Structures are given as structure tokens and as C-alpha cells.
Amino acid sequence: MQPNTHLQQLDGNYLFTEIVRRTEAYRQANPDKQILRLGVGDVTRPLPQPIVEAMLRAVEEMGQTDTFRGYGLENGYAWLREAIIENDYRPRGVTLDIKEVFISDGAGSDIGNLGELFAASNRVAIPEPAYPAYVDSSLMAGRPIEFLPCTAENGFVPSLPEQRADIIYLCYPNNPTGSVLTRGQLAEWVNYARAHQSIIIYDAAYEAFIQDPDIPHSIYEIEGAKEVAIEVRSFSKTAGFTGVRCGYTVVPIETGLQAMWLRRQCTKYNGTSYISQRGALAAYTPEGKAAIRANIAYYQGTAQLLLNGLRALGYEVSGGVNAPYIWCRVPKGYDSWSFFEYLLHTCQVVCTPGAGFGPSGEGYIRFSAFSDRHDCEMALERMKNIG
Ligand code: MLT
């Protein structure tokens, strides 16, 4: 046996695992301290009641002989795929064929797995700082990567690649910087991909946070995007599915990849649980939609609180308006990880060190609005007290 040595290029620990590890070590050494979690974006609101009820009904069905279901379709039940098209795409002028929608166990898994569609020699372009899965999965496949730095100087908006890219990862609204692309800026990427026969893997997990009407929610709002883009979405951050697992990926027929992705999924994926899919469907009922709107409004209020509070304390912050993440420059004399440790030890506030998202994230930390509102107020109060 020869191991896949590409895996040896990865950082020793996955970023979010390392944060949990350090937080846990601190908790064990300081059991009397109350830790405020503004780091990993999974401190979401609990599952909305209409979703809980739909899942309970689905569990009951699975417990009866005549309503029990075995494996579902590998690409998901038609009723969920139709609801996605009708609710998430048609109102934005995007027409999709049901075959183009694939239900998954979450955006994270699909982002990692989609790379199997492409040859190992393909060149990858990744704006950084970036959600670590784009880089990690490209490294695991042994693909050459061109990083596109996103800094305060370019407004956290990447330039087009210098060398021809076959695969491009874009995430908007952006994790971790909270930046967005205008319609015109996104059109430049679509035009680039069409001119160079590249594929864009577009991570739209945070589209529900967009408030500005000029910001596209889906890459398919841009003309020609169906030829060159795969879009990945999630129920985690809207409907609290972080621990349930359900998302979806759109692979348009025009990309020439739809049949290949279906074939891959049929072999490697036995489908998303019926119970999760019934829960996801309830997100599109009037009650489910109202509950999700309330969740998003809650996170947006928390993001605003953090933005204003951090600004008032003198921090340089951005993001947090059309996105749930606040990107914050660390004070002089610190780097990302040392300020992470400082906040943990002096305020018991957990953030995410920007350097964990790539070299251009050094000198920054990220705060997540997927946090308890009262915890955020306490975090700001404690940070005020340390000066
Ligand atoms: C984050 O904190 O960036 C997210 O929770 C990551 C994820 O959803 O996997």
C-alpha cells in the first residue's frame, strides 16, 4: 500500500477542529469560566417548529410497515427538488430542470466531493482567505492552486487569475470576509469561465443574508452561467440543519457534468435521509418560511450589534451586512492566533483566527453572527473592559 501523500500537505488539524480543541482545553483548565462561542458558525438557532413537526411525522412513517421507505433516489426526492426550483430559483428568473438539482447531506460534503468530476491536472484558482474545504480538497487531489489574495486594499474582491484556471471556487456572500460581489463583478467571472472553458464552483451557502437588491443570490442570475457554474447551497445556516445535514447542489446540463455527477452519486451516495428531506421540505411551507425569515433577521441583528460594538471599541471591521461574518483586524502587536488566544484567555470569547483561512487572513479574526445574542453583548462588554 502507498498512501495518498497529497494528504500530508494538509495542516495538521482542520481549522474548526483546532478551534474546538483549543476551546475545550481552556474549558477543562477553567471549568468555572463561561465561554462565549463566536467562532465556528454552528451556534445556530434550533430547528424551527414546523420542521421539527415534519421530521417527527417522517420518523413515524419510517416506523410503520406500509409507510416505511428504504433507499431514496441518490439525487433526492422529486418533491424537494421541485420545491427548491419553485422557491429558490423561479422567483429570481432562473429556470432549472429537476435533473439538475441534487439533494445532499450538506454543502461541505459536496464541495469536497465535486472535485472528483475533474482530472488531477486541472489548475485551480481560489480567492483567499477561503473556507478551508476548497484548498484542502484541491490539495488532496494533487491539483496546482493559484491563490487570489483578498485584502483591505482590493476591498476583499479578488482579481481574475493570472494563469488560466480550469476550476474556480467562489463563495458569495463570502466566508470569512463577509464581502459580496455585485452583478457586474460576478459577470466578469462568468465571462472569464466561458472564455477559458473553466468551471466555477459557486458556494452560495449564505445567500439568504443578502439585503442589497443589487447583489445576485444565485450565479445563474448572470447570463451564460449555466454553461460554466455549479452552485452549492445549504439548509444549515437558514433552517438550523448543522446537525441534521441537508443541502443541495445544482449541476446544469449545459456544463456537460450533470450525468457524470449523477453517476458518481449513484455509486458513492445512497441518498439523503428521508427524515432530513421531509424537514427540508417544511422549510418551504408558509410557516417554515416565516420561521426562517425570523432566524435570518435574528442573525442580521446580531451581526449589526457586533459590527457597531466592535467599531465603537475602535476595531477596524467589515462584512456583516449582507453576510453573517464580521472580519476584524487585530490590534498592533498581535497576529491572528495570538489574538485568538488573548481573547480566549482574558474574555473567554472564541473567534476564528483569520490566518486559518489563508495567508491574507493573517492579522484578522472572524466573528460569527451564528451566536447567541446575549453572548455577543457579553463578549462586547468583556472586550470593553480589557481596553
Ligand atoms: C464556519 O464557521 O465557517 C462554518 O461553520 C463552516 C461550515 O459550515 O462548515
Full 3-state SS string of 8-41: HHCCCCCHHHHHHHHHHHHHHHCCCCCCEECCCC
- Asked if residues 195 and 225 have their Cβ atoms less than 8 Å apart, the reply is no
- Please give the pLDDT value at position 368: 98
> CB–CB of 177/156 below 8 Å?
yes
Say whether 368 sits in a helix, a strand or coil: strand
pLDDT of residue 9: 87
Instruction: Find the DSSP H helices in 69-164.
Output: 78-84, 107-113, 132-140
**Grid coordinates belonging to 198:** 473553466
DSSP secondary structure code for residue 141 in this structure: T
Take residue 83 and report the three cell numbers written for it.
420545491
pLDDT category of residue 11 using cuts at 50, 70 and 90: confident
User: Which of 169, 216, 175, 174 has its CA nearest to residue 193?
Assistant: 169
Our mutation pick for probing the ligand 1 site, out of 20, 37, 40, 177, counting the most ligand atoms within 8 A of Cβ, is: 40
**Which residues form ligand 1's pocket by a CB distance below 6 Å?**
40-42, 108, 175, 236, 368
Measured in whole angstroms, the distance separating CA 242 from the mean position of its chain's CA atoms is 11
- Angle formed by the axes of helices 286-312 and 373-386, to 10°? 10
**Spatial distance between the Cα atoms of 50 and 282, rounded to a whole number of angstroms:** 6
Q: Which ligand 1 atom minimizes the distance to the CA of 39?
A: 2
- The protein residue with its alpha carbon nearest to ligand 1, atom 1, reads 41
Query: What pLDDT is recorded for position 13?
Result: 87
Taking CA atoms only, the protein residue closest to ligand 1 atom 3 is: 41
What is the mean predicted confidence (pLDDT) over 290-316? Answer: 97
Burial grade of 120 (CB within 10 A; 0-12, 13-18, 19 or more): exposed
Least confident of 36-40, 42-46, 133-137, 299-303: 42-46
Question: Contact 362/355 with Cβ under 8 angstroms?
Answer: yes
- The answer to whether the beta carbons of residues 380 and 313 sit under 8 Å apart is yes
Over residues 29-58, mean pLDDT:
96
For ligand 1, mutation pick of 14, 15, 16, 244 (most atoms within 8 Å of CB): 16
Predicted local distance difference test score (pLDDT) of residue 196: 98
pLDDT at 62: 98
Confidence of residue 119 (pLDDT cuts 50, 70, 90): very high
| Average pLDDT of the segment spanning 69-98 | 97
Q: What is the mean pLDDT of the chain?
A: 97
236 has pLDDT over 80: yes
Distance, in Å, from the CA atom of 322 to the CA atom of 173, rounded to the nearest integer, reads: 7
Q: Which of 9-13, 28-32, 58-62, 194-198 is the least confident region?
A: 9-13
List the one residue out of 159, 156, 201 whose CA is nearest residue 176: 156
Q: Is the pTM of the predicted complex or chain greater than 0.85?
A: yes
Q: What is the pLDDT of residue 387?
A: 72
343 close to 383: Cβ distance less than 8 angstroms: yes
Give the model's confidence band at 163: pLDDT under 50 very low, under 70 low, under 90 confident, else very high. very high
Which H/E stretch holds residue 101? Answer: strand 101-104
pLDDT tens-place string over residues 120-137: 999 999 999 999 999 999
Three-class DSSP category at 279: helix
> How remote is the CA of residue 370 from the centroid of ligand 1, in Å?
10
Mean pLDDT, to the nearest integer, of 20-41?
Answer: 97
